[in-house]
Amino acid sequence: MNPGSVAAILPLYNEGHAIARLVERMPCRITETFVVDDGSDDGGPASASAAGARVLSHEGRRGVGAAIRTGIQAAREKGHWAVVVMAANGKDDPAEAPRLIEALESGYDYVQGSRYLASGGASINLPLGRSVMIRGYTLLFRLLSGFRVSDVTNGFRAYRLDLFDDPRIRIDQSWLDRYELEYYIHWKVVTLGYRVIEVGVSKTYPTGGGNYSKIRRVRDWWSIVRPTILLWLHLRS
């Protein structure tokens, strides 16, 4: 498939303070923005729609993986060539999306954003505890996959949608509904021999503490890590 239109996917759960501004800041390389509402009750979906996004809504909260899957399905149905996935809470900069798109256009299948690359990467106000957990899981992923990744948990990613024509990449599995889907896809594209590259991006955390992430330290971190473990052990496919 030749390079063509690129959609953005923003999984949304109660980020009404940030979502409209993100939609309005999408660069011209993004031809359509899908905001997938995963059960918000703060008015964020209406704000996203007013800002120009196409809002897709789940009836209740299913998880970020389910939201990304819904966005992928919608983008494929609309005939888009690729998608860029980014956070709906303002930590990612939409102006950097063309960096990822350009890597896809140069021949890569999957582009992982990295806050740690010397060229273009930046990590602003990242809490120390979160940094330790990110680096620990990234090391585990490197050891088990053999892929020299520097920032496996960064949710700012882009990939060609024809990856999902490969029957070995089964994103419809229900166990991938929470954080598992992102890391399942990453493991699959690396281990199946697709062309993968990291690109430097910035990640900005809010100052003054507070709820900088919805990831819970035990339950959700296991949701993040377990696809790598289960796929490495061949307990899932």
What distance in Å separates the CA atoms of residue 86 and residue 33, rounded to the nearest whole number?
11
Domain boundaries, the chain: 6-232
CATH H superfamily, domain 6-232: Spore Coat Polysaccharide Biosynthesis Protein SpsA; Chain A (3.90.550.10)
Q: Say what the pLDDT of residue 209 is.
A: 43
The pTM score is 0.94
Residue 231 CB neighbours (<10 A): 18
Position 211 pLDDT exceeds 60: no
Per-residue pLDDT reduced to its tens digit, 8-36: 999 999 999 999 999 999 999 999 999 99
pLDDT tens by residue, 92-148: 999 999 999 999 999 999 999 999 999 999 999 998 988 999 999 999 999 999 999
Confidence at residue 206, expressed as pLDDT on a 0 to 100 scale: 80
Rounded to whole angstroms, the Cα distance separating 71 from 48 reads 15
Cα dihedral: 81, 82, 88, 89 (round 10): -150
